[in-house]
Chain A
């Protein structure tokens, strides 16, 4: 079975541009989360989606937005890029919902490495 897949794996943008990152969850997983990992730090939570609805948002500006599609894949959009947006963007999927043991255990993809020049 395929794990969490992300695209693109690497990309370079310039300040002020916009970027869209894509994520396909593990088959059967209905929840997708996005995290930003700046070099030398732990991942920081950006968004979580479950059944196409936003279920959580971290402390990020409105330049960051996301959505989840009917097939449970997701996109993360970042507008008006700043140098400080350079990071590894990680997508994670989980079963989601409540009740099942481990329903919220996250499986991460390999990430999309964004460099802003």
Chain B
């Protein structure tokens, strides 16, 4: 079955790097995504990576994909208080539906 797992909570100090981890089970996943959700809001697409890539960098965001271990990570450099939110990892297996993890709450302390 499909299952995307994330740790529930991460706390960092402003200016430090944050690393949010995710594991997935479906080796046929074609795209893997990171979404951000602020309180009371919808989901904001941060970045995505195609399954034939190992890494993708976009400004302060770096995504690493280890297909062998089915592990995905999101690194946020120079974390700011505005980065405080819940971050969701999601996989697309080609069945046109995303399977989401339960989300990691990132708390950035000043």
Contact = CB atoms under 8 A, between A and B. Distances in A.
Interface string A94-117: 000000011011111111000000
B99 A90 contact: no
Task: Sort chain A's interface into a size bin.
Answer: 20 to 34
Interface string B85-109: 0001010100111111111000000
B97 A108 contact: no
Given A110-B42, A111-B42, A105 B31 contact: yes
Contact of B96 (A41, A43, A48): A48
Interface residues of B, number: 23
Question: Main secondary structure on chain B at its contact with chain A?
Answer: strand
B105 to A, nearest CB: 10
A43 B102 contact: no
B96 A104 contact: yes
B11 to A, nearest CB: 18
A58 B44 CA distance: 22
19 contacts: A33-B96, A35-B98, A42-B4, A42-B88, A42-B90, A42-B102, A43-B43, A50-B96, A55-B96, A56-B96, A58-B97, A90-B42, A90-B43, A101-B50, A102-B48, A104-B96, A105-B31, A105-B48, A108-B42
Interface of B: 4, 31, 33, 35, 41-45, 48, 50, 88, 90, 92, 95-103
